[in-house]
Structure 1
């Protein structure tokens, strides 16, 4: 006979121990469905006393969260922001007032979630993402913030973040990614993403060509849907850009500090959301200008100072790689382009490589420190199928150093393919600087 699960909380005294425990606390890494996490949420008594904005979509989620956070901070609000995954430190996933939350606050939140879990009869296990997301939400709900921004992990309908009823939900873009979980058409994926919309609440779609499944779902549940090109739009020239929406208009806006061809799409959706929330979180035109000017987000078409030019971009699906390719082509001339490339085995690797094939002259493929990664040797084989030669490296730092040794001052190095690839190069550069 099966014994009932032990209900004694398992507690740890430091963050690293907690995180390594959570990696194996649930039998599988991704387990779609809200049943288990909802039970723990109710045991915890999680409620947000402030407006909540959730951000889903295939690409552009991180940038959208960064814009929202930056504009609301510029307006003087106390803002909490949860994003994932992190690049170098877990604490990056939880920010209050623009600063990463400290270990002590995270440990307290982890403990509260574990105790709430163990209070239940036959306590459910939670995945790493479910447990940490719940802990961060609980931390935010108790932090007396004016607004909480929550980035959806994957999909929407069955994602851990969707246990919260958002006052405003933004879907940034819809493209093919995580198809094993979300479906293999834009229509199927859009339905999953639209699962974060709520009846009578604000729903923003930043994709200029939204699938009908998203529009139909918003209509069926009675969400207040804002569509790009219908309910709001933007125009721009070389110097500045303007936004117009339902009864509101801004002109003479400066370009956002985040570079890349899709950032005006993301910024426009953010302004639409903030205008829709205006009664509860008023922001001025100057707040928007300041927020766009001061926004920072590592690893999203991040061009590092110095020579050769180094571009860091976490692009890891075909849509993001196509955007990266466009953004690179819009840059000044560079004689040669080197790529440091590492990717997950479950991604559409050919689809990620294709937009970059005509841009990159030299390929440096790297292994990554996770069992989910494709090996550098496998990546080389994929490139050889396109008649491209590539070198193999054991880690992103070694690949980056080799590219640096070969590149001339006027050349360019692009690091892309995964958060792990970018994080590996960032960590290597930080170590070299010390």
Structure 2
């Protein structure tokens, strides 16, 4: 199969949360252990940092990879979801040569193991994790940053024994899988804490801190609360207000890695790594500016915890009229997120082009109930083209509500 045929097969033939939602969620780690054994356990040959959290885990993972690259190391980076091309999920960051996994490697891996995948009903995410581990082993990376896909305890990445576990924060999201309280969700995320492995907590609440402390104690793991331990951060090319907490999390994680003596990361590497995250890793969609007059920002924030920060940042801007291109997926709790959006804005409602996309007419009706008014468009691109036509140079344009909306714009 060609690369396009291979990725089409991966997306369409097997369960994929990105497309299907709840039906793709696996409730145990049986399959990934089976796959790892089939591949001769490549994850056991890789030094890793494991990153979980409701928001910020992608930014945190990319910052860590950028800093380690600036330190001269060959770094594997596994993240999800992708915005445009599947290969964004699996990258090498290195001083001599950085880039996404090759199309040939993806095709060969799928072709070689296709029968096994079909016989054992492997999910899209399980295959992707196995592919990443196999690739990082073959490439002999010095260290890999592994981002959790969903939750932690039952996530397919949770077969690794990392050097450090990182949990960025806890917010209400994916309640159908993780529980509908902060304590329950924290319990799932804390499932990545391993015996005698240090854990960094980025942000905590009165509800989540006891959960983390109890899990760390149970595992005899040193626990570090970055928000208490790190008072100063450094500039970064990632400009969203929410990056302040992520930077503290990253700086604390690097401090622990340095203390383990296996890696040596200088202050200048931290400084340069934070300043060149986008250049080094290709990260997109985090308070990303697409234009100046009018100012155009897109952001992948899609739940209450993330959107609160982004909406507050918008209101700090100076503009005449605020235009918002908005689309969401169909399992989003609209009564939770729509009250966060400013009423004094012109809305362009659209449906992301995936099966899970919520019909724009339904979104518009629900938004109207919350005092948000605008027009319905048949696609993200049509909504974006209309806002570009309508906006004055002194206006502000925001595109978001879903990772998939941002992906279509980019």
**Could you state the TM-score of these two structures normalised by the residue count of structure 2?**
0.91
Please identify, of 98-107 and 51-60, the stretch whose mean Cα deviation from structure 2 is larger. Answer: 98-107
CA distance in 2, matches of 1:258, 1:318: 20
Deviation at 1:229, TM superposition (A): 4.1
Aligned equivalent of 1:273 = 253
- Please say if residues 153 and 189 of structure 2, whose CA atoms lie closer than 8 Å, have aligned partners that are also in contact: yes
Q: How many residues align?
A: 390
SS at match of 2:24: coil
Aligned equivalent of 1:23 = 11
- Please say if residues 208 and 228 of structure 1, whose CA atoms lie closer than 8 Å, have aligned partners that are also in contact: no
Aligned equivalent of 2:212 = 214
Aligned equivalent of 1:34 = 29
Deviation at 1:221, TM superposition (A): 1.2
1:106 equivalent in alignment to 2:106:
yes
Query: Alpha-carbon deviations, 1:17-41, whole Å to 9, x = none?
Result: 2222233444642222101121111
Query: Alpha-carbon deviations, 1:159-195, whole Å to 9, x = none?
Result: 0111222221111110000000000000000010011
Deviation at 1:80, TM superposition (A): 0.8
CA distance in 1, matches of 2:293, 2:358: 30
CA distance in 2, matches of 1:113, 1:259: 41
- Please say if residues 233 and 268 of structure 1, whose CA atoms lie closer than 8 Å, have aligned partners that are also in contact: yes
Aligned equivalent of 1:312 = 298
Q: CA RMSD in A?
A: 1.7
Aligned equivalent of 1:373 = 357
- Please say if residues 113 and 135 of structure 1, whose CA atoms lie closer than 8 Å, have aligned partners that are also in contact: no
- Please say if residues 31 and 126 of structure 2, whose CA atoms lie closer than 8 Å, have aligned partners that are also in contact: no
CA distance in 2, matches of 1:319, 1:76: 35
- Please say if residues 149 and 157 of structure 2, whose CA atoms lie closer than 8 Å, have aligned partners that are also in contact: yes
CA distance in 2, matches of 1:175, 1:126: 29
SS at match of 2:158: helix
CA distance in 2, matches of 1:180, 1:221: 27
- Please say if residues 82 and 88 of structure 2, whose CA atoms lie closer than 8 Å, have aligned partners that are also in contact: yes
Any unmatched runs of 5+ in structure 2?
Answer: 16-22
Query: Alpha-carbon deviations, 1:220-264, whole Å to 9, x = none?
Result: 11122111344x2223xxxxx4xxxxxxxxxxx3x1110111212
CA distance in 2, matches of 1:257, 1:114: 40
- Please say if residues 42 and 133 of structure 2, whose CA atoms lie closer than 8 Å, have aligned partners that are also in contact: no
Aligned equivalent of 1:14 = 2
- Please say if residues 78 and 145 of structure 1, whose CA atoms lie closer than 8 Å, have aligned partners that are also in contact: yes
Structure having the larger proportion of residues in helix: 2
Aligned equivalent of 2:322 = 337
Moved over 6 A (4+): none
Per the alignment, do residues 383 and 160 of structure 1 end up closer, same or farther by CA in structure 2, a change over 3 Å counting? same
Query: Alpha-carbon deviations, 1:123-163, whole Å to 9, x = none?
Result: 42111111112112211122111110111110000001112
1:421 equivalent in alignment to 2:402:
no
